[in-house]
Amino acid sequence: MHGILRHQAFHHGEDRFIQGNVDDLACAAAAADVVQSHERADYAVERREGIADAYARANADAIDIQVTVESIAAADEISESLLSAGYPRINDIISDEPKPDARSTVEAYDHSIDSVLWHKRIHASADPGRPTCVHVRVEGWPNQQFALLFVDWLTAESAARAEYLAVKQEAARAASADDDISVYVEAKEPWFSGAYRRAWEWADAVGWQP
């Protein structure tokens, strides 16, 4: 079984890939090592003791890694491997925020309203000094594809990048008052709802493929 570990560093305009066997998740740590910083914490871990405060800080660097698997069952199968690599599972987060009329380049999942297609598994670095999330998503599902599309769209659209930075900064200010990462996540969600549609409009126009 293989997965793709993809890291995006928006503010440097970089898009780096590491591909490896998901049964040897030491490559997840390698993915974290090859990047210097990362502004994105789109699906930040809520209430995780030891790292939540790191995500809440406005200037904190955070690394998001996506591992693509063939099924949710496969995501569960690699849980122990991720734990051994230093990424324990966050059990109370099992899904991304579903979007209505979800999109995918896979016909069977395109224009779906099935919220199950937004399910995932998430693991976080046990090291609070290097906040990292490993998102394990199923190949072709809307959430897996949006994670890839989002960075490509931001890379191509400078206005969207500027908007996103402003949204992140405002969300960070809101979160800093309460020292609560959930405030940060919730403050960005209204923008993401619109950005989801805009990103897919761009994808359709340019013929984007993951």
Tell me which of 133 and 13 has the higher pLDDT: 133
pLDDT digits (tens, 9 = 90+) for 105-121: 999 999 999 999 999 99
- pTM, to two decimals: 0.74
> Strand ranges (DSSP E) for the chain?
2-9, 14-21, 63-69, 121-124, 132-138
Long-range CB contact pairs, 192-199, < 8 A, 24+: 192/42, 192/97, 193/99, 195/150, 195/160, 195/163, 195/164, 196/99, 196/146, 198/153, 198/160, 199/146, 199/149, 199/150, 199/153, 199/160
pLDDT digits (tens, 9 = 90+) for 14-49: 444 444 444 444 444 444 443 333 333 332 323 233
- Domain chopping of the chain, boundaries: 2-204
pLDDT digits (tens, 9 = 90+) for 150-203: 999 999 999 999 999 898 888 888 777 666 667 777 888 889 999 999 999 999
Structure tokens at 11: 């503010």
Q: According to the model, what pLDDT value does residue 181 have?
A: 63
Predicted confidence band of residue 68 (pLDDT cuts 50, 70, 90)? very high
State the burial class of residue 18 (Cβ atoms within 10 Å of its Cβ: 0-12, 13-18, 19+): middle
By residue count, the chain amounts to: 210
Pick the CATH number of 2-204 from 1.10.3470, 3.30.460, 3.10.20, 3.90.105: 3.30.460
